[in-house]
Copies of this chain bind each other. A is one copy, B any other.
């Protein structure tokens, strides 16, 4: 049996940076440091960080002993950001710099008078933060939605983990409505490259494993992509989930992983496949 692993599997620049910041703070063993929501969308990493003393909180109003807050990779909405400022907490900003850029462009488009269209998943924290920067009249669409009636001047900004094809679709639809369109393609290069490489590997194998948080947007994108290529695909968080039956007849197995999946989990998946695949 042959196992192919995508080169881009695992931590992207933004996640690596956030994890480095969080574990550095953890080493300082300070009291009262929390992350506001899970720092990245990977439960195993979040657990490891909690073991070092930094746990996520979801509502700062319910917590009394806060001294410092680490902002997660996906960023936070502008109103929360202002609330944090007013409370005087120390802020350790681990927002991915590419998400920061998307926030900036959402704000800019709004200030320039565009009706802002955000391509992304509306319940994702990154998209919620983009919404707050784009302010009134902004709408969120995904690759499946049909655009509602838009204004004549439309600005488009994108959740960093969306596929390019979805952006092309949204722009094409917006062209039916608006006479002026400004697009900031804020899809991060690492996402685009990972999608391309995953498609290449998926085309060569009998079974595909996508490793990463079930709540991770970019991991879910990878799973969707592999399924669309008609390869039997399993989205798993850890090696423990793998069933022998899945790989019984497979000669070539592919592994890819989301931007928030640590290398040790990918390695464990590889070892487990080798073990049970014989």
Interface residues of A (CB under 8 A from B): 164, 167-168, 171-172, 175-176, 178-186
In the assembled complex, 9 residue pairs joining A and B whose CB atoms fall closer than 8 Å, in A order, are A168-B172, A171-B181, A172-B172, A175-B185, A178-B185, A179-B186, A180-B182, A180-B183, A181-B185
Q: Which residues of chain B are near A164, meaning CB under 8 Å?
A: 175-176
- Give Cα A181 to B167, complex, Å: 12
A106 CB to closest chain B CB, in angstroms? 14
Q: Which residues of chain B are near A176, meaning CB under 8 Å?
A: 164
Q: Which residues of chain B are near A180, meaning CB under 8 Å?
A: 182-185
Q: Which residues of chain B are near A179, meaning CB under 8 Å?
A: 184-186
A152 CB to closest chain B CB, in angstroms? 10
**A182 and B185 contact, CB distance less than 8 A:** no
- Give Cα A11 to B24, complex, Å: 72
Nearest B residue (CB) for A168:
B172
Nearest B residue (CB) for A177:
B185
8 shortest interchain CB distances as A-B pairs: A181-B183, A182-B182, A168-B172, A179-B185, A168-B175, A171-B171, A180-B184, A167-B175
Q: Which residues of chain B are near A175, meaning CB under 8 Å?
A: 164, 167-168, 171, 183, 185
Known contacts A180-B184, A181-B181, A181-B182, then 11 further A-B pairs from the complex at CB < 8 Å, ordered by chain A residue: A164-B175, A168-B172, A171-B171, A175-B185, A178-B185, A179-B184, A179-B185, A180-B182, A180-B185, A181-B183, A182-B183
Q: Which residues of chain B are near A172, meaning CB under 8 Å?
A: 168, 171-172
Q: Which residues of chain B are near A181, meaning CB under 8 Å?
A: 171, 181-183, 185
A196 CB to closest chain B CB, in angstroms? 12
Q: Which residues of chain B are near A167, meaning CB under 8 Å?
A: 175
Q: Which residues of chain B are near A171, meaning CB under 8 Å?
A: 171-172, 175, 181
A57 CB to closest chain B CB, in angstroms? 35
A182 CB to closest chain B CB, in angstroms? 5
